[in-house]
Amino acid sequence: MPTMSPSHSPPATSTASERSTWRSILHHDLPASLVVFLIAVPLSLGIAAASGAPLIAGLVAAVVGGVVAGALGGSPLQVSGPAAGLTVVVAGLVSQYGWAATAGITCAAGLLQILLGVTRIGRLALSLSPAVVHGMLAGIGVTIAVQQLQVVLGGQAQSSLIANLTALPGQLVAHHPHSVLVGVLTVVILLAWPRLPKVKVIPAPLVAVVAVTALAAVFMADVTRVNLPDQPLQELILPTIPDGAPMEIITAVLTVALVASVESLLSAVAVDKLHRGKRSNLDRELIGQGAANAVSGALGGMPVTGVIVRSSTNVAAGARTRASAILHGVWIAAFVLAAGAMLELIPMAALAGVLLVTGLRLVQLAHIRTLHRHDELLVYVVTAAGVAVLGLAEGVLIGLVLALARVLYRLARATVTATEQDGLWTVRIRGTLVFLGVSSLIRTLRTIPVGARVRVELEVDHLDHAAYEAIEDWQRGHIARGGSVELNRTAFRAAMRTDPARRLLPWQRQVIPEPDQRVSMLDGIREFEASADLIRPMLAKLAADGQRPAHLFITCADSRIVPNMITTSGPGDQFCVRNIGNLVPPKGSNSNSVDAAIEYAVEVLGVQSIVVCGHSHCGAAAAALEANIPAGSGLQNWLRHLEPSIRRAVGLPDIVDPATGVKLSPADKLSVANVGVQLANLRSFACVRTAEDEGRLELIGLWFDIGAAAARLVLDREPYLVRTDEELATASTLSER
């Protein structure tokens, strides 16, 4: 469902548009960039320390991620930089090859990311099982948390989870009170600060690091602190070619590229859910991330990815364009060059505390609950344990193998049930029935008494020859012993062919059914009830909880318009009003049914948006233009409400389809103009005006092209029609906020 307002200001000149853009940057992006900058500095230092990289490398990656990925990436509000998800990978590369070679691997991984983006196959990374991805992040999070716990206790981080766990008792005995106090206080502030409603706009990591740094500067002279080079630009370690087996180096490059790509793309998708601006172009985002990694590696910086923590902060701080991400990188560079000495006051235990909390937050209970509901928790746990104990590549590989094995098991698994009611036995076969499930099928069929009446209902994606023969043999034997079997031969033949038409609803199986081939209403009801088990729990919940739709959808009674299909929504999502011509007579026009629906939807149901949806080939519009409606008929009385729309359409220039550039017919032009008039009529209702003024309600104009199966947004100015994914609609919406 698009959520864009149809009310837009008149077309502006390019100069006015530029002034508006600069005003938006100054009012929104500049303040947001400062907030993100304050978060990025401590996180970048902490991630560099946890990875065993030079601290300046983390800051270089933050600058490059902000400027390069921010400028070239396809997710305008995503902020990039060094990320906790790559800490384990980078730490392993540093210990194996050294930092200069690790920078070279980062540079090569960036070039590979660019290639993936150019070839448009980078988005395949999103095809990974969510259980494996979240399990990978959880394993990394546990490893980071245990590793940084060592630093909080005053020790040195070890190379593996087992080594860190083994060393923990020794650190507890060693007793480093100042380091422990700094680390514990950092963690406490990080957890407590967001719970304070009036101050949580200030980033918790900034508050924690500043507070404990000030405390340590006064009372704790002996704690280990950040150590940066006096001349940062002269101390950069330039990349070198790794020295090792070619296959190991290729594996390292692939690992960095794939992990960075997956994390960046997942973050971009997550950021899109936080705002209503332009959606991410994932291929372009991958190219931008690759360019940032190539530049970061060339300058001796860490690998770069899109980071959800900084990105969500960027959105929450009010950023509107990519200028915020770019500016945050500029502020980091200026701060390091002009005031780097201030960073050397920060205790390392404070950064460890920040990373400790960051690592634990990678293990999200919401993901665990969701995966548990979908029976994917085992894959999550195995992947997380494998990453934490064996390593990233090994853990992910084990998780992928397990996920694939479970998919194959489900594909080869069928559910066979036999139930009896009023002397009729019903055998339901669901899933994919192949030879592996034949024994279970036979056991179920043998429970049916001899001589019973049986109906076999087949709801499978595929039926192989072994299963078909097993059912045929049982049927012949059951009939021979005096029983009867009702079998849908057409369904069986389609299942043997894996006919995709079986998966379609009856109305989808033929574009224009012949009269003698139409599915009767009773046949349709029977087919719905036979397959309603999947949605019955959801409908039962809706029946118990009542309706809470988010949208009021006003559209035409035309039988070709299916609101739930157009908006990809389901039961309970929309409160729908349908009438001839999708009309909303102004308040006071004695249209009691429409008036009641609008007031009930806004005042009782509290809908968030009202959509008026017109459509092409509208019979009401054509009839109104031809003026051939019988005088005095109910239809003529109703369509008199179209007269303002006709007057509006006459005053409009030609309207063209935004996809094809073809001029709309007079009837379609009237249909588009009519949507705008009905939106104006909605504002004649006091409840609508009040809710809209308070920001609780949004009015949306929509026009559906039946032949093209495409929805367009309706504006009240040229170009009048825009595609729902078009940047113009997004830019116009943002300019009004």
CATH number of domain containing 597: 3.40.1050.10
Residues 423 and 569 in one domain: no
Domain count, the chain: 3
Within 10 Å of residue 671's Cβ, how many Cβ atoms? Answer: 29
Residue 163 corresponds to which tokens in the numbers above?
């080594």
Cα angle for residues 195, 199, 205 (degrees, 5° grid) = 75
Residue 4 lies in a domain: no
Answer yes or no: are the C-beta atoms of 93 and 230 closer than 8 Å.
no
pLDDT number for residue 523 = 65
Q: How far apart are CA 402 and CA 248, in angstroms?
A: 25
Q: Helix H segments across 556-603?
A: 563-567, 592-599
Average pLDDT estimate for 166-192: 84
Phi, psi of 393 (to 5 degrees): -60, -45
Q: Quick one: 50 and 146 in the same domain?
A: yes
List of long-range contacts for 499-505, beta carbons under 8 Å, 24+ apart = 503/461
Judged against a pLDDT cut of 90, whether residue 532 lies above it is answered with: no
Domain boundaries, position 502: 412-509+521-528
Pairing mode of beta strands 305-306, 80-81 = antiparallel
- Exposed/middle/buried for residue 687 (C-beta within 10 Å: 0-12, 13-18, 19+): middle
- The residue that leads in pLDDT, 709 or 524, is 709
Least confident piece of the model among 251-260, 313-322, 328-337: 313-322
Domain assignment of residue 537, yes or no: no
Residue 161 scores a pLDDT above 60: yes
Band of residue 534 on the pLDDT scale cut at 50, 70, 90: low
> What amino acid occupies position 446?
R
Same structural domain, 339 and 420: no
Residues 437 and 350 in one domain: no
pLDDT digits 0-9 by tens, 621-676? 998 888 777 777 888 889 889 999 999 998 888 888 887 778 899 999 999 999 99
CA pair distance 101, 287, nearest whole angstrom = 23
pLDDT at 558: 92
Task: Return binding residues.
Answer: 556, 558, 615, 618
Residue 401 maps to a domain: no
The pLDDT of residue 394 is above 90: no
C-alpha count within 13 angstroms, C-beta hemisphere, residue 659: 12
CA distances from 722 to 551, 565, 672 (A): 21, 20, 12
pLDDT (0 to 100) of residue 300? 94
Q: Which residues does 214 contact at the CB level (< 8 Å), separation at least 6?
A: none
Does residue 606 lie within any of the structural domains? Answer: yes
Tell me the pLDDT tens digit for each residue of 103-159.
999 999 999 999 999 998 766 666 677 888 888 878 888 888 888 888 888 777 776
Cis peptide preceding 54, ω within 30 of 0:
no
**In the predicted model, is pLDDT for residue 201 greater than 70?**
no
Q: Are the C-beta atoms of 354 and 190 separated by less than 8 Å? A: yes
pLDDT digits (tens, 9 = 90+) for 21-71: 788 788 888 888 887 887 788 888 888 988 889 989 999 999 999 999 999
Q: Which helix (H) or strand (E) holds 393?
A: helix 392-411
Q: For residues 341 and 198, which has the higher predicted lDDT (pLDDT)?
A: 341
Q: Mean of the per-residue pLDDT values for the chain?
A: 83
| Closest to 304 (Cα-Cα) out of 113, 564, 156 | 113
Q: Evaluate whether residue 20 is within a structural domain.
A: no
pLDDT of residue 204: 80
Q: Are residues 556 and 679 in the same domain?
A: yes
Looking at residue 520, its pLDDT comes to 61
The alpha carbon torsion through 467, 469, 472, 476 (nearest 10 deg) reads: -130
In whole angstroms, what is the distance from residue 205 CA to residue 210 CA? 8
Write the DSSP symbol of residue 737: -
The reply to whether 390 falls in a domain is no
Which are the contacts of 510, defined by CB distance < 8 A and separation ≥ 6? Answer: 517
Question: Residue 375 corresponds to which tokens in the numbers above?
Answer: 């029976």
Angle (CA) 77-82-88 rounded to 5° is 135
Let me know whether 341 and 419 are in one domain: no
Residue 642: phi and psi, rounded to 5, are -85, -10
Query: Are 492 and 561 contained in the same domain?
Result: no
581 and 694 co-located in one domain: yes
Domain end marker among 364, 381, 398: 381
The amino acid at residue 663 is K
Q: Compute φ and ψ for 5, nearest 5 degrees.
A: -75, 140
| Residues 500, 433 share a domain | yes
**From CA 329, how far away is CA 62, in angstroms rounded?**
6
The DSSP-derived string for 646-668 is HHHHHTS---B-TTT-PBPPHHH
Residues 6+ apart with CB under 8 A from 500: none
Question: What's residue 26's pLDDT?
Answer: 84
Q: What is the pLDDT of residues 682-702, one digit of tens each?
A: 999 999 999 998 889 999 999
Report if residue 16 sits inside a domain. no
466-502 residue pLDDT tens: 888 888 889 889 998 999 988 766 666 666 655 444 4
Residue 488, domain CATH: 3.30.750.24
Q: Which of 333-347, 377-391, 596-610 has the lowest mean pLDDT?
A: 333-347
- Which among 331, 362, 381 is the end of a domain? 381
d(CA 445, CA 364): 45
CA angle centred on 399, ends 396 and 405, rounded to 5°: 140
Q: Are residues 374 and 445 both part of a single domain?
A: no
**Alpha carbon distance 635, 637 (integer Å):** 5
Rounded Cα–Cα distance for residues 700 and 612 (Å): 6
Ranges 1-5, 301-305, 618-622, most confident: 301-305
Q: What is the mean pLDDT of residues 518-528?
A: 65
Angle between the 177-192 and 130-152 helix axes, to the nearest 10 degrees? 140
Q: Tens of pLDDT along 432-468? A: 787 777 888 888 998 999 999 998 888 777 777 788 8
State yes or no: pLDDT of 735 exceeds 80.
no
CA–CA distance, 26 with 457 (Å, rounded to integer)? 65
Q: Give the pLDDT band (50/70/90) at residue 9.
A: very low
Kindly indicate the confidence band of residue 200, based on its pLDDT and cuts at 50, 70 and 90. Answer: low
> What is the separation, in whole angstroms, between the first and last Cα of the chain?
19
With both helix axes pointing from N to C terminus, report the angle between 161-174 and 130-152 in degrees, rounded to the nearest 10: 30
Cβ neighbours, 10 Å, residue 130 = 17
* 361 and 485 inside one domain: no
Q: Is the pLDDT of residue 1 over 90?
A: no
Residue 12 covered by a domain: no
The alpha carbon dihedral of 11, 13, 16, 17 has a sign of positive
Q: What is the mean pLDDT of residues 502-516?
A: 47
pLDDT band (50, 70, 90) for residue 517? very low
What tokens appear for 572 in the block? 């309970």
Residue ranges for the known binding site for Zn(2+) are: 556, 558, 615, 618
Please tell me the predicted confidence (pLDDT) of residue 618: 92
- The CA R_g of the chain, rounded to the nearest whole Å, is 32
CB-CB contact of 382 with 399 (8 Å): yes
Segments of 57-159 assigned E as strands: 80-81
Q: Are residues 172 and 256 in the same domain?
A: yes
Q: What angle do CA 390, 395, 397 make, to 5 degrees?
A: 130
Sheet holding 453-463, edge to edge: 414-421, 424-433, 453-463, 484-487
